Chain A
Amino acid sequence: MSELAMTELPILVVGGGPAGVAAAVTLAEAGLRVLLIEQRDRLGGAIHRQPAPGAPQVWRGPARHRRNWTELTSRLERAAARIELRTSSVFLGIDGAGRFLFEDRRAGRVFARRVRAAIVAVGAVERIRPFEGWELPGVTSAGGAQVLLKETGRPPEGPIVVAGTGPLLLAVAAQLARAGNPPLAVLERGNPWRRPKTLAGLATAGPQLTEAAAYATTLAWKRVPYRTASEVLGVSEVGQGLAIRVRLGKIERLLQARHLLVHDGLEPNRAGIPLPAPGAEIPVLLAGDGREILGADAAILDGRRAAAAVLASLGQAAPVAPLEAALGKARAFQRDLAEALRSPSTLPTPETMICRCEGRRYADFTALPADASAREIRLMGRFGLGACQGRFCGPMLAELRGEALPSASPPRWPLRPVSLAALANFSMDQTET
């Protein structure tokens, strides 16, 4: 590496999932210095969460994702000289002086860095359609349960119900079945068989279809019922378990289970993330599912696209047209999938929790004036003010209002719990370059 490259400020990449790793590798292979920040102790993101050392491997579905990840990580190793990897480090935000702040959780301190540009690839969060009792212990997001399954290699004990909408339900249920605890049932809110045309369109998507077929085969083999036009109406605690009131088509039933896994699609993880402003002094680009929900294959392409945009801004030629075309295909697939699974919206009951952080219910929301602005919803209704920064109630309220709630700006700092000791260990002279 030349003298200049050594002293040059790095390009920051936040997030060690497929998008962030693809971006970091592309930049490093083009000769730039990269600072790659990941909050977990290992890379992999939501899809490639690695098992803890010694934990059994669970079935991860079709091999294509693993191949993609093996390729990315071996390129990362080859480019390691230009990539400074900081794991167990959380991106906190940007301070007034344009420095990027991080908490190194292993060392227990906050540090600041100056960078030339930033690519933020912090992935997706799951959307949840609220029902009475969704806030109870025992109710987990389906993706969250899947991530834990991959990490521990063991499914949760006791009967499981999986409910909501989207392909992730199939994947999680099949993985649980293979790991030895097939769910009692999978309840899909949508009714795709009602939209044969859209289904036929989806059937032309190669790898995704093979993946869905593999999951469906596993569910059939393990005799897990997959019910469409079905949903959870409410859940309450009974003894050590949950009583789950469900609607199966037109009939209502009560299911007893230990765990309820819910998932209603994905949202870009945006709360408190600096959004790219055109002409900003330090350009910030979003990449992967944190920019637009296009899935794991597209996240890799999108990481490369963001890296190409940074390279272009530095005067290095980097073709983006083929990437854009592939991303367009992924977008069409997501649109058809959403259309196939579209379901009528339902209103929560007054008692339904909307903001779990602050304990605010739907009745608190309807008590607000009908024309309340986003600011009034926040300040008078105290929605979206809690620890999660509105990551979950924000999308819920947006759906109920039929209009998005603009995110709090500027985001409150810190975005995440920062230990007081770590903050106390921060001083201005810790700006590393």
Chain B
Amino acid sequence: MNPCFYWIDRPVSFRPGETIAAALLRAGIADLGPEGGAVRGRVFCGIGACQACVVAVAGEGAVEACLTPARSGMRLAPPPSLGLRHE
């Protein structure tokens, strides 16, 4: 069985060596929230430049989903400030 991490509360399985972005997209998760945010996160440039895919890793901080290899048991969520500033 493939290992998995959690997007908010939802388990997302990944192939070892795959990035967080690849696994999220394969699971059909394109909207990286926050829910109702004026500007929502998403994988866009795929190469670490646009910062639109930045996700918060519980206990670690923020990383680009498109650069970071997925690890088993990671707990991921939208970063706290994104898109909430201009509501």
**Interface residues in chain A, defined as those with a beta carbon under 8 Å from any beta carbon in chain B:** 39-41, 46, 52-55, 88, 90, 105, 108, 123, 125-126, 135-141, 143-148, 151-152, 154, 156-157, 269, 271, 353, 356-359, 386-388, 391-392, 416-422
Contacts and interface: CB of A to CB of B under 8 A. Distances in A.
B18 A144 contact: no
Interface of chain B, main secondary structure: loop
7 contacts: A39-B48, A138-B30, A140-B44, A143-B46, A152-B22, A386-B51, A391-B50
Given A41-B69, A137-B31, A151 B50 contact: no
B46 A152 contact: no
A152 B46 CA distance: 12
Contact of B60 (A52, A125, A416, A419): A419
Contacts of B76: none
Given A137-B40, A421-B60, A359 B86 contact: yes
Contacts of A388: 49-52
Given A137-B42, A140-B42, A356-B39, A148 B63 contact: no
Contacts of B45: 125-126, 141, 143-144
Contact of B22 (A52, A105, A416): A52
Given A54-B15, A55-B15, A359-B39, A144 B22 contact: no
Given A359-B39, A359-B86, A419-B61, A53 B17 contact: yes
A163 B13 CA distance: 31
Contacts of A359: 38-39, 83, 85-86
B44 A387 contact: no
A180 to B, nearest CB: 14
B40 A154 contact: no
Nearest to A135: B39
B16 interface: yes
A139 B42 contact: yes
A399 B85 CA distance: 27
Contacts of B42: 136-140
A105 B63 contact: yes
A110 B18 CA distance: 24
Nearest to B61: A419
B43 to A, nearest CB: 6
Contacts of A145: 46
Contact of A419 (B16, B30, B52, B62): B62
A11 B60 CA distance: 32
Interface of chain A, main secondary structure: loop
Given A53-B17, A140-B42, A143-B46, A387 B63 contact: no
B18 A139 contact: no
B40 A54 contact: no
B51 A54 contact: no
Nearest to B30: A137
A152 B39 contact: no
A79 B21 CA distance: 33
B51 to A, nearest CB: 4
B68 A392 contact: no
Contact of B63 (A135, A137, A417): A417
Given A52-B22, A388-B51, A392-B50, A139 B44 contact: yes
Contacts of A143: 45-47
Contacts of A357: 39, 51-52
Given A125-B49, A356-B52, A148 B44 contact: no
Max count, chain B CB within 10 A of own CB: residue among A40, A52, A105, A386: A52
Contacts of A386: 51
A148 B46 contact: yes
B61 A417 contact: yes
Nearest to A140: B44
B54 interface: yes
A152 B22 CA distance: 7
A108 B11 CA distance: 24
Nearest to A359: B86
Contacts of B18: 52, 55, 151-152
Contacts of B43: 140, 144, 148
A46 B47 contact: yes
Contacts of A139: 42, 44
A271 B51 CA distance: 13
